[in-house]
Structures are given as C-alpha cells and as structure tokens.
Structure 1
C-alpha cells in the first residue's frame, strides 16, 4: 500500500509539472522563442504597466548614526514605487525618500538594481515561474526642477501612485527628491526557457523600442481592454488634476 501511494504521488507530480511547463508545440501550432528585440518590447510594456519594483542595494561597511547590526557589504532588496514617466529613454522615474534605506545606501556608494515582474490579470496563469521578469542595472541620477516641470513628471508619477502626492518634494513629512534610474544593463527571464528568451538585452534594443511597439504587444494573461489607453493609465492628466488630490 505504501508503495502504491508513493507511485501515485510520483505520477501526480509528473502530471502537474507537465501541465505547468508550456510545450513548444500545441495543437499542431509551432511556437518560436521571441527574439531579443521582441523580449525588449515585452520588458518595456511591463515597465509601462507595472508600477512597483524591488530596489536592491548594498549596506555600507561603516555608518555613524544608524542603530543596526554589522551588515556592511550585505545586499538588501526593498519594494519601491516607480513610474514610466520618461518613456523616450526607458529610464524609470522614482520619488526618492531620503530617509529610506535604498537611497541612503546609494548615497553611501552602493550600486543599484531594480527588479520587476509581470502580474497577469487572468487567473489561469498559475505558475509565476512561467511569466516574464527582469532586472535593470544602473545608477540613480537626480532630476532638476526644470526637467521635472518640462516632462510633466509630477502628474505622470501621481497618475501611477495617488498617495505619492503626500511625499512630493517640499512636503512637511519627509525630505524627498526626483531621481531617474539610468538603465545601463538589462537581464531578462521571459519565462520557461523552451518558449522564452533568457539572457541579456542590449541597451540599444531597450532604448530603440517605440511607443507603437509597446501599444501593439500583449503580455501573458493580460486581459483585453483591462488597461485601456496607456496614456490614461499612467495619468498623463493636466497638472491641476494633481493639485486637487
């Protein structure tokens, strides 16, 4: 009886695994692995439609004011908001709260990455491992007030994150500033390797993606009409709409 149970569990495990891993052929339709550029387009659409990522930095070896254990040189990943508010470059816009660990680490000399993953709206996508995700390697660059106003970054960002209106630069609660993550390298995992590209995306491919390409592609589990116009989704409203929050 124990042997029978073990055999049944083994069969069930194999069946479950085979149902999760997408085959290269299905109903006589052959799927081709997306090209590097097609993967770059998918990544740029994820950047556009998502709005929360994980910033990874490294603690400095010395510190003067923080009461913390000896974690110098240890990496830490923390959630943070971002917005795709400079789409011509593909550099994410971030409202940096100066007291936050990620930004203090960068100020102390840490490098930084931002990791994103796609969250489908269609609940048939049961395996997160089958879905695309990627990391952006780069550096933070402060955005001056003139550039913020010219690009309409405040309206765009608050369009993504309504609550961020409370933490805009000049607020009485926390010191903050606008920064962009200047993308220098992109590492992409499109899903399972038999149907998706896994590897580095050259910066020129990332930067060459057009708005039309971002609009035309659809991600796994993305419901038709779920997002509506990308322009309205990211909140490219007039500045006075932000001031009314």
Structure 2
C-alpha cells in the first residue's frame, strides 16, 4: 500500500509525457489556427536608403487560406508601407503572425509566425476570380477586392509562401514550442472544413 502514491505519481508522469504535443500535433494546430482565423500581422523591413533602414514594420492584415499547401492569399497595395518595403526587399520577404481569437488568458493559447516571400500578381492575373471567390468567404466585407467597380485602384492579388514556421502552443511543458519543418506543415490538415482551395505552387 505504501507504494501506491509512488505508482500513481509515475503513471501520472507517463500520462503527461504521452499527452505532450508533438511537432505533428503542432502542425495540425497551426493549420487549424490559420484556417479558422483570417486576420494576422503582416511585417516587413524598411529598405536600405530609408531613414528607418533595417527596422521592422508591421500592421494588421486580412488573409485567406486559399491554398492547399498552407500558402495564403492576400491583397497587395503597392502604395502601402508594407507594400513598398516588400517590393524593395530581396525576394520580396515578409512575415505573417497569427494568434488565437481573443479570450481569457490569451498568452496560454497557440500562435504561429510564418516567414516567407510574397508573389505579386498582375492586375490581369487569370486566377483572380477564383481568389476573389475564396477571399470573400473569409472577408465578405472586402468591397475593395480587385475587379470590383468600387474597388481600390492599387489593389492586386498576391500569394504569401511561407518557408519557415515558428509555433508557440502555449506555455512550455505540455505544448510544443519551436520550428515546424515546412514539409510537415504543408502536409498537415486543419480539422475545420476547408474554404475553396487553390493548388499551391
């Protein structure tokens, strides 16, 4: 009988260890977070020659999870500060950070940072209608999408392709914190029903 508390402690420890998030779990959670959210923080870096050269810049940005491989559809405005920074960046580099919806103790909830590159499409991009349909599922308020008569003149479609994924599942111990390999991220699937998907590049 005197060993029962010790055995209970051992089994509890085994249970906790077995329940710890794996990198695969983290990939699925990250894809679910990206799928169910539609707003992130788009960040870029001021280019050389600017008074703030090398300094980071970030603002809230709409996105839509339109690509099966985890790439994101965004509206690109070349006149915006992020737009100018991205166009002046080698490889048109940027990052998008996405967090869980506002709730109690948000610091304990999952969030993910995607580092990648932006491909900007022309105003005559043939896939524009498909992107518009997908994007409007996430943002029915977005009257400024390309092709709308009331749209913003400078808006064009763009694709954000992440190459580096950093995930924080919550506080350490039970939750995964660290990088997710790109192939694992791209092959993971969200639990929520997907919006219209476009084949990723």
Whether 1:89 and 2:69 are equivalent positions in the alignment is yes
Whether 1:77 and 2:58 are equivalent positions in the alignment is yes
Alignment size in residue pairs: 179
SS at structure 1 position matched to 2:59: strand
Task: Report the equivalent of 1:45.
Answer: 32
Aligned pair partner of 1:215 in 178, 191, 197? 191
Deviations 1:156-186 (CA, angstroms, capped at 9, x unpaired): 1011112222232575633111111111010
Give the Å deviation of 1:192. 0.6
Give the Å deviation of 1:115. 0.4
Structure having the higher helix fraction is 1
SS at structure 1 position matched to 2:157: strand
Alignment partners' CA distance in 2, 1:147 and 1:155: 10
Whether 1:181 and 2:160 are equivalent positions in the alignment is yes
Q: Please, which runs of 5 or more residues in structure 1 have no aligned partner?
A: 1-24, 64-69, 217-229, 237-245
Q: Contact 1:170 / 1:176 at 8 angstroms: preserved in 2? A: no
Alignment partners' CA distance in 1, 2:19 and 2:82: 39
Task: Report the equivalent of 2:134.
Answer: 156
Structure having the higher strand fraction is 2
Alignment partners' CA distance in 1, 2:174 and 2:167: 13
Whether 1:32 and 2:12 are equivalent positions in the alignment is no
Q: Contact 1:169 / 1:176 at 8 angstroms: preserved in 2? A: no
Deviations 1:136-167 (CA, angstroms, capped at 9, x unpaired): 01000124622334xx2111101111222223
Alignment partners' CA distance in 1, 2:188 and 2:101: 21
Alignment partners' CA distance in 1, 2:177 and 2:63: 24
Task: Report the equivalent of 1:6.
Answer: none
Task: Report the equivalent of 2:127.
Answer: 147
Give the Å deviation of 1:29. 6.1
Task: Report the equivalent of 1:119.
Answer: 101
Alignment partners' CA distance in 1, 2:134 and 2:148: 18
Task: Report the equivalent of 1:108.
Answer: 88
| TM-score, normalised with respect to structure 1 | 0.66
Q: Contact 1:135 / 1:186 at 8 angstroms: preserved in 2? A: yes
Give the CA RMSD over aligned residues.
2.3
Q: Which has the larger radius of gyration?
A: 1
Q: Please, which runs of 5 or more residues in structure 2 have no aligned partner?
A: 1-11, 197-201
Q: Contact 2:119 / 2:159 at 8 angstroms: preserved in 1? A: yes
Task: Report the equivalent of 1:130.
Answer: 108
